[in-house]
Amino acid sequence: MIIRKGHTAVDRGTEEDEHKYGSRESLLLSEEGGLTQFVAHVETLQPGSRSDRHWHEEEDELLYVLSGEVTVVEEDGPHTLHPGDAACWPAGVANAHQVVNRSGAPCSYLIFGSGAVPDVIHYPEREEVLRAFEDGSWRIERTDGTVVKEGREP
Amino acid sequence: MIIRKGHTAVDRGTEEDEHKYGSRESLLLSEEGGLTQFVAHVETLQPGSRSDRHWHEEEDELLYVLSGEVTVVEEDGPHTLHPGDAACWPAGVANAHQVVNRSGAPCSYLIFGSGAVPDVIHYPEREEVLRAFEDGSWRIERTDGTVVKEGREP
């Protein structure tokens, strides 16, 4: 099944996300192609935008830079990546990572994940943990165990 | 973990592969990054080179064009893809596919797969089936069931 450039469903996140993290656009390639065994998106960050710093207990992730200059912040600090550079985050390694566009132009990268569920996702700066369960439900807790929010995937 | 362009292990296949399919280079990104939940490689085909036409019973696959002109042959014929175009092959859909470089310059693409095992891979042109088992062993059979070759992953 062929998916032409510009013919993919786009996710721009919520207004709340945009306010917090800046403008981000995700092309939902894997969903468009009817794939269920992994998640593959093309993300574009406008200057100043960023993702939420996190790491997964159960999901392998890979980022591959397509265009522009991408700053990847890991536990050991920031790294400036260019097209053809990549970053890999094996499941269970507590290397919290964040993608930031510190440049003056948009940057794009492919992001892949196994989509492993159940999963526990750690957000050290927010001092929160997201628990995702097999039945599609999820729960955000503070690191002291207090429940912040609960829900279920549609 | 950051993987800089040009600092990835490269697989050029066997001499037999090169003789049969032409010159192909695979950058083993997922292996380099210690990922085990999916397979992610950057492949470069020289002009005239091709992959083996096949489909998977159990593995989702995704191809994303990075540079050059890539011809993807599916059941409905050839499609010419350019950077930003993609192809998705959900597991179990009998849409045998092949990647060919019919252009005069090298072409590159990212190829992702879930690496699902056990799997059964069909090669309609060779009239062969590859069965991959959970213990790392595999068996190539002709479509009439005759065993062609057996082995085990190292």
Predicted confidence (pLDDT) per residue in B116-132, tens digit: 999 999 999 999 999 99
Q: What mean pLDDT is predicted for residues A68-95?
A: 98
Q: Tell me which residue in A6, A36, A90 faces B35 most closely, judged by beta carbons.
A: A90
Residue B7 has pLDDT above 80, yes or no: yes
Longest Cα–Cα distance in chain A: 47
Q: What mean pLDDT is predicted for residues A119-138?
A: 96
Q: Categorize the per-residue pLDDT at B34 as very low, low, confident or very high, splitting at 50, 70 and 90.
A: very high
- Amino acid identity, residue A141? E
Instruction: Residue B40: name the closest of A76, A45, A88 by CA.
Output: A88
DSSP-derived pairing of the beta strands A137-142 and A147-152 = antiparallel
Judged by a CB distance cut-off of 8 A, whether residue B96 touches chain A is no
Q: What mean pLDDT is predicted for residues A57-85?
A: 98
Measured CA to CA, the distance from residue B26 to residue B45 in angstroms comes to 9
User: Do the Cβ atoms of A114 and B110 come within 8 Å?
Assistant: no
* Mean pLDDT, chain B, whole residue set: 96
**Collapsed DSSP state (helix, strand, coil) of residue A91:** coil
Measured CA to CA, the distance from residue A81 to residue A68 in angstroms comes to 9
Q: A110-122 b/e with 16+ CB inside 10 Å = b?
A: bbbbbbeeebebb
pLDDT value of residue A96: 97
Measured CA to CA, the distance from residue A88 to residue A96 in angstroms comes to 12
Judged by a CB distance cut-off of 8 A, whether residue A40 touches chain B is yes
Total beta-carbon pairs less than 8 A apart between chain A and chain B:
127
Q: What mean pLDDT is predicted for residues A17-24?
A: 94
User: Do the Cβ atoms of A38 and B114 come within 8 Å?
Assistant: yes
Q: What mean pLDDT is predicted for residues B51-78?
A: 97
Min Cα–Cα distance to chain B from A26, Å: 13
Q: Tell me which residue in A35, A59, A87 faces B88 most closely, judged by beta carbons.
A: A35
Token code pair at residue A76: 């050991």
Instruction: Residue B58: name the closest of B89, B90, B88, B91 by CA.
Output: B91
pLDDT value of residue B154: 73
The rounded Cα B132 to chain-centroid distance in angstroms is: 15
Q: Residues near A53 by Cβ (< 8 Å), separated by ≥ 6?
A: A73, A96, A97, A98, A123, A124, A125
Min Cα–Cα distance to chain A from B146, Å: 31
pLDDT value of residue B153: 83
Q: What is the ipTM of this complex?
A: 0.95
Token code pair at residue A64: 């591959």
Q: In CATH, which of 3.40.50.300, 3.30.950.10, 2.60.120.10, 1.10.3720.10 is domain B10-116?
A: 2.60.120.10
Judged by a CB distance cut-off of 8 A, whether residue A3 touches chain B is yes
**Collapsed DSSP state (helix, strand, coil) of residue B29:** helix
pLDDT value of residue A154: 73
Judged by a CB distance cut-off of 8 A, whether residue B64 touches chain A is yes
